[in-house]
Amino acid sequence: MTMQPVLDGTATFMEHLGLNEEPLGVYYSDDKPENAFGPKTGVPISRELEESGKLDMREVMKSFTCVMGSIWLARKKHGAAFISQTEYGCPGGVYYCAMLQPHLRFIEHYVSTGFEGTPLQGERYMPDPDAMRNFILRVAPRKAPARYCIFKPLSLFSAQEKPEFIIFFARPEVLTGLFTQTVFTTGDMDCVASPFGAGCTNILGWPLYYKEKGIEKAVIGGFDPSARKFMKTDELTFTVPLSLYEKMLAALPESMFTHETDWKNVRKKVARSAKAWGEEE
């Protein structure tokens, strides 16, 4: 199957939604796209090095690059973003994107309450390291099937490439359309989830979790305070597996978008909002 039916369906879907930015696709490959945005090669990291006391986290953090930051650049420049086990940027992101197993124990403290008696106070997103550890072990991404994890606009996919997940960036009115179309397609009231996680956890870590369990589920994210600087005001993420997305596109002719429903009022609001924000529809 080529990507053309997905591209054509996406163009129609975007028009219904009033969305002017095409979604991204994510996939794994041994080949890195040219001029892709991503982190520089960092010092080697592993649980073994960490537990043996041979891992200097100060050196690791010197080359810190957020996955969402690389994706932000890819969105602005209409290009690709990547992360790999050696070009990782973030010790958390490399785990959530399935490029490193097991996770570094440092993350358990960094995201929660830090290390007692040190300047690291922690991000305070989780109440303690144990709670953070439970979360990390719950997500437990699979081992990556290739060297690079790559994010790029759907229109940049070649005929030979296929995204594993589709990622939308949208404000609440557009999310209303995405959410409702997912429910209409599946008939499942729980077909959309929004569990706790970093920005990259919700665009990839959790979607991988559900896929590995054989569950077709969309994931809303963007609630990570550390990732908000790489997102527009009021913007959230919506990730859906390709298998479900294709069904959503196929269901468009019978959906609320093509019938006399209250969506027409939401669509007008989307158009007014685009003008207020100075965005072209």
Spatial neighbors of 272 by CB under 8 A, at least 6 apart, are none
Q: Residues 92-111: pLDDT tens digits?
A: 999 999 999 999 999 999 99
pLDDT in tens, 171-217: 999 999 999 999 999 999 999 999 999 999 999 999 999 999 999 99
State mean pLDDT over 225-253.
97
In terms of DSSP bridges, do strands 165-170 and 192-193 run parallel, antiparallel, or are they unpaired?
unpaired
Measure the CA–CA gap between 60 and 201, rounded to whole angstroms. Answer: 20
DSSP string computed for 237-275: EEEEEHHHHHHHHHTGGGSGGGSSSTHHHHHHHHHHHHH
Q: What percent of the chain shows pLDDT beyond 90?
A: 91
Q: Which ranges of 116-221 does DSSP label H, i.e. alpha helix?
A: 129-139, 172-186, 199-200, 206-212
The radius of gyration of the chain's CA atoms, rounded to the nearest angstrom, is 19
